[in-house]
């Protein structure tokens, strides 16, 4: 099935299935049923079977799915078997924390494919310094550095007023996906994806249920 025709909710569930398979107590040579996987992922077994069927045949009826093979297949479907160099724009407290988190995950987990290849900030005092051994470049060098590093994912941690300009330039340099922490909606051309993370909005929504 063509990737862009897969519903977003299915992709989110696949990510959850993979996380379950990576962090469960199942051994590589074990089998896991759709009901077991569904319980661990907080969905029903029928939904698991329906989701996986979008991508081909998995497992055997009455036996289940071989854990190692299923983990590898979902990893490949999600593109998580490829190294993913990314860039962080805005190296303030949030940007720095993100860089340290991703770098730490990469060190501790050899299967973690994301790594911060390029960092950018407009503060002259930060330019030329490093975070986790990674150089902070001036925003003026963005296009050159992004192309050199072959970056396809960008994390936006700049102020809202600067976010659109940064995204426009990054898109022109080949970036095709953004995780946006700036409290603003971004305009991007077709074929470019933006995911939004606003801590304040999430807390406000959570507070409603407390």
Bridge partner list, 179: 155, 195
User: Higher pLDDT residue, 141 or 2?
Assistant: 141
How far, CA to CA in Å, does 66 sit from each of 16, 38, 50, 158, 210?
17, 15, 17, 44, 41
User: Within this chain, do residues 115 and 16 fall inside the same structural domain, yes or no?
Assistant: no
**Residue 32: domain span:** 3-78
Q: What is the largest CA-CA distance in the chain?
A: 63
70 contacts 59 by C-beta, under 8 angstroms: yes
Q: Give residue 1's pLDDT.
A: 46
Q: Is residue 97 part of a domain?
A: yes
116 contacts 133 by C-beta, under 8 angstroms: no
How far is residue 4's CA from residue 120's CA, in Å, rounded to a whole number?
30
How far is residue 145's CA from residue 95's CA, in Å, rounded to a whole number?
18
Q: Is residue 210 part of a domain?
A: no
How far is residue 119's CA from residue 92's CA, in Å, rounded to a whole number?
11
User: Within this chain, do residues 136 and 58 fall inside the same structural domain, yes or no?
Assistant: no
Q: The domain spanning residue 23 has which CATH number?
A: 1.10.10.10
* Percent of the chain whose predicted confidence (pLDDT) is above 70: 98
Last residue of a domain, one of 16, 49, 78: 78
Q: Give residue 61's pLDDT.
A: 75
Sign of CA dihedral 40, 44, 46, 52: negative
Q: Give residue 3's pLDDT.
A: 61
How far is residue 36's CA from residue 91's CA, in Å, rounded to a whole number?
42
Residue 180 banded pLDDT, cuts 50, 70, 90: very high
Helices (H) and strands (E) in the chain, counts: 8, 9
Q: Is residue 41 part of a domain?
A: yes
Q: Is residue 50 part of a domain?
A: yes
Which helix (H) or strand (E) segment holds residue 36: the answer is helix 34-41
User: Within this chain, do residues 62 and 98 fall inside the same structural domain, yes or no?
Assistant: no
Range scoring the smallest mean pLDDT among 6-10, 85-89, 137-141: 6-10
For the chain, list the strands marked E by DSSP: 31-32, 65-66, 84-89, 114-121, 130-131, 134-138, 153-156, 177-180, 193-196
pLDDT, tens digit, for every residue of 51-107?
A: 999 998 877 777 899 999 999 999 999 988 888 999 999 999 999 999 999 999 999
113 contacts 82 by C-beta, under 8 angstroms: yes
Last residue of a domain, one of 53, 78, 103: 78
Last residue of a domain, one of 56, 78, 100: 78
């Amino acid at each position: 099935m063509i990737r862009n025709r897969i519903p977003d909710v299915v992709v989110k569930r696949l990510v959850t299935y993979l996380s379950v398979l990576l962090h469960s107590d199942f051994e590589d040579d074990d089998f896991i049923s759709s009901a077991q996987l569904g319980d661990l992922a907080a969905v029903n077994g029928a939904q698991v079977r329906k989701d996986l069927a979008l991508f081909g045949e998995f497992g055997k009826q009455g036996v289940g799915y071989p854990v190692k093979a299923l983990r590898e297949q979902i990893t490949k479907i999600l593109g998580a078997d490829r190294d993913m160099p990314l860039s962080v724009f805005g190296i303030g407290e949030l940007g720095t924390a993100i860089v340290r988190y991703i770098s730490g995950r990469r060190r501790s987990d050899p299967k973690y494919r994301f790594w911060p290849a390029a960092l950018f900030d407009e503060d002259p005092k930060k330019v030329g310094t490093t975070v986790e051994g990674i150089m902070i470049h001036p925003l003026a060098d963005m296009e050159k550095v992004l192309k050199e590093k072959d970056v396809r994912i960008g994390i936006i941690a700049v102020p809202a007023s600067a976010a659109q300009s940064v995204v426009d330039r990054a898109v022109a340099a080949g970036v095709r996906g953004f995780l946006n922490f700036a409290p603003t909606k971004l305009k991007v051309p077709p074929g470019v994806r933006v995911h939004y993370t606003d801590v304040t909005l999430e807390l406000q929504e959570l507070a409603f249920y407390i």
